[in-house]
Amino acid sequence: MELKTILAGVEVMEQTADAACEIGELKYDSRAVGQGDVFVAITGFETDGHKYIGKAVEQGAAVIVCERVPEDGLAVPYVRVASSRRALAQMAANYFGHPADDMTMVGITGTNGKTTTTYLIKTILEAQGHKVGLIGTNQNMIGSEILPTERTTPESFELHRLFAQMRDAGCTHVLMEVSSHSLALDRVYGISFAVGAFTNLTQDHLDFHKTMEAYRDAKALLFHQSRIGVMNRDDAHGRVILEEHACPFLTYGETEGCDLCAQEIELHADSISFTCAADGAFVPVVLGIPGQFTVYNALCALSCAKALGISVTEAAAALREAHGVKGRVEVVPTGTDYTVLIDYAHSPDGVENVLRAARGFTKGRLIGLFGCGGDRDRT
């Protein structure tokens, strides 16, 4: 591939490299660089790739893409860019042939509910006959094939490589959990989402974002890349994002005036049911996952389906076949007269929601056992 091809769309500030030169592979980890590769020095959360430019050159890098040229100069040609993170995202898209453009992209952001919501939407789309790719905290999937995952949203290079695998496997839609880190660090830069959805915002990741306002602003970036937004209007932070008018929105919640509104809610030990009021119709919704928060996850999934052109009635019918996600309010059979649930909840709001859900069908004592990894948010 010629350098000019992989640099298409990148904001270049200075270039000494020949645009017509042939380059090998695209790398951002100096340890993986081989002869003739182009190395992109990105600034990470914990380290700066500019420190490893020398190592990349030693390993055979033919071209360096960076924001700052080392003071002692470079022995190989370079391309200085405005943002190496955005450059990597654009170059990765170019390198893999813009696979995201060939599929319908749906991004879900928020503190809680992202994983379950993506699985619910996957159920709806598969009922419509679509092959779906899924990228998330628990695992990545291409149809029914399960792939390992290391983080909620991969680095941009791995992300576009995964998109290419999904496209080549025949996926028509991709469902992504879009983390605040990935938005702040430009991992999803340049991706056009057909639908972007917001679940809720509660305290989490303040070791990275420092303030709730900065955390919310990072989440809001998704809607500047979305053609249609889906918003939890019952969430105070969601209402703030709505006021920015970044894109047209569908709203959901339990309060009157939402485009999709949950009414007549019933909570059971192993399920929930409610009536979804939308466009003057009243659609019954039954889902085999307990908890009040399941109502919001279902509403978000139904709203995304509607934004994709699927009727609420068809989407609700598909949700009757949906099952819980492993590690998300997962019931552990005990063969006794008590119930054991496992849940990923790790934020104050997440833990409270799970305890509230369990209290709703617990007659006796409710015992919570949780661990704390440490070295994160001290507040």
Spatial contact of 151 and 162, defined as CB atoms under 8 Å apart: no
State the Cα angle at 257 between 251 and 260, rounded to 5°: 45
- What's the confidence (pLDDT) of residue 43? 85
Residue 296: CB atoms within 10 Å: 25
317 versus 137: the higher-pLDDT residue is: 317
Q: How confident is the model at residue 347 (pLDDT cuts 50, 70, 90)?
A: low
pLDDT in tens, 139-178: 899 999 999 887 767 899 999 999 999 999 999 999 999 9
Taking the whole predicted model, whether its pTM rises above 0.75 is answered as yes
Q: Do 99-319 and 3-95 fall under one CATH topology?
A: no
209-215 LR contacts (CB < 8 Å, sep 24+): 209/180, 209/184, 212/237, 215/180
Give the contacts of 199 (CB within 8 A, at least 6 positions apart).
108, 109, 110, 111, 112, 113, 114, 117, 232, 235, 296, 297, 300
Phi, psi of 151 (to 5 degrees): -150, 165
Helix/strand/coil (H, E, C) string of 297-334? Answer: HHHHHHHHHHHCCCCHHHHHHHHCCCCCCCCCCEEECC
DSSP, residue by residue, 109-142: ESSSSHHHHHHHHHHHHHHTT--EEEE-SS-EEE
Tokens 């904001």 belong to: 11
Fold of 3-95: 3.40.1390
- Domain borders along the chain are 3-95, 99-319
Fold of 99-319: UDP-N-acetylmuramoyl-L-alanine:D-glutamate ligase (3.40.1190)
Strand order in the sheet with 104-109: 145-147, 140-142, 132-135, 173-177, 104-109, 193-198, 226-232, 249-253, 260-267, 272-278, 281-287
Percent helix, percent strand, percent coil in the chain, to nearest 5: 35, 25, 45
For residue 298, give the nearest of 327, 262, 264, 330 by alpha carbon. Answer: 262
pLDDT in tens, 247-275: 999 999 999 999 999 999 998 878 899 99
Spatial contact of 114 and 108, defined as CB atoms under 8 Å apart: yes
pLDDT in tens, 177-227: 999 889 989 999 999 999 999 999 985 544 554 588 888 898 999 999 999
